[in-house]
Amino acid sequence: MNIPKLIYGSRLNFKESVHNFFATIAGLSIISLEFFRQVFLPPYEIAEIRKHMNELGIKTFPIVSITGLIIGLVLAMQSQPVFVRFGASDFLPGTVALSVVRELGPVITALIFAGRVSSGIGAELGSMRVTEQIDAMEVSAVNPFRYLIVTRVIATTMILPVLTIYVIFLAVFGGYIAVIITENMSFAYYKNAVISSIQYGDLIPGIAKTFIFGFIVGIVGSYKGFTAEGGTEGVGKASTTSVVIASLLILLVDVVLVKLTLLVWPTT
């Protein structure tokens, strides 16, 4: 498969920078089309997908656990004085829940996931590329794209929504911890306020877009690693640029998805 290569160098001029930009766009487009062409073709590497879901997803639980609690705590602590000022303390649980479900939970989880996973995929596949392990797989009549890329992209696409749901629950609980520190609010009241404020139009789009974010994380890391060259320096560049591009794409795509969500599920 002919994927555009990037130009590496200590001092890139403007022409080379433009080349790298369009090469990245073309490469991501080609590798995405190739993924959708091969993903439904047998054989299915179920064991390999399960292994990557464990390595890339399950081991991310500790950091997203801390992040989820902090999101809820900070959001509630920052919002509580403002709500008290306007005499709207009763709306604090619903505001925290809606903010986490619709935007903060999915986006922040995806960014953390990109920082840990996309860089790891880029470094791993980059090391395999520069040490000619991928070339050896091709000589051995093994399809490296299916074995290395398809399995990882499926794993990231499937595991990120699970992590997001977990983070949402922790963030909502973290908001409750912040509330009981400053106000005399029972857990039953907080829970009922959260449940009554969330509708399907809030929950479904927030979770659904994390499938796209997971795909972005997997495909960017795979592309950067699969096309790495230049020895250890190329592996390092593949790892770092994977995080930057994946995070940027997540934010840009989120803007589009938010607009589409408001058109399909208006808040009023």
Residue 252 has pLDDT above 90, yes or no: yes
Query: Mean pLDDT over residues 248-268, rounded?
Result: 83
pLDDT, one tens digit per residue, over 70-111 is 999 999 888 888 887 877 777 888 888 989 998 899 999 999
Q: For the whole model, what pTM was predicted?
A: 0.88
> Are the C-beta atoms of 52 and 151 separated by less than 8 Å?
yes
Query: Mean pLDDT over residues 136-162, rounded?
Result: 88
Query: 45: helix, coil or strand?
Result: coil
pLDDT given at position 6:
58
Residue 231 has pLDDT above 80, yes or no: no
Q: What mean pLDDT value characterizes the chain?
A: 85
Query: Which tokens belong to 219?
Result: 């495909």
CA nearest to 68, candidates 108, 98, 116: 108
From residue 134, alpha-carbon distances to 34, 146, 148, 235 in Å are: 17, 12, 9, 14
Query: Mean pLDDT over residues 139-148, rounded?
Result: 82
Query: Mean pLDDT over residues 210-234, rounded?
Result: 88
Where does residue 62 rank: exposed (0-12), middle (13-18), buried (19+ CB within 10 A)? exposed
> Are the C-beta atoms of 224 and 238 separated by less than 8 Å?
yes
Residue 32 has pLDDT above 60, yes or no: yes
**Within 13 A of 119's CA, how many CA atoms are on the CB side?**
14
pLDDT given at position 78:
87
Residue 10 has pLDDT above 50, yes or no: no
pLDDT given at position 168:
93
- Percent of the chain, pLDDT > 90? 31
Residue 123 has pLDDT above 80, yes or no: yes
- Percent of the chain, pLDDT > 70? 92
Query: Mean pLDDT over residues 18-43, rounded?
Result: 84
Query: Mean pLDDT over residues 54-68, rounded?
Result: 87
Residue 2 has pLDDT above 90, yes or no: no
Interior CA angle at 256 toward 26 and 221, to 5°?
40
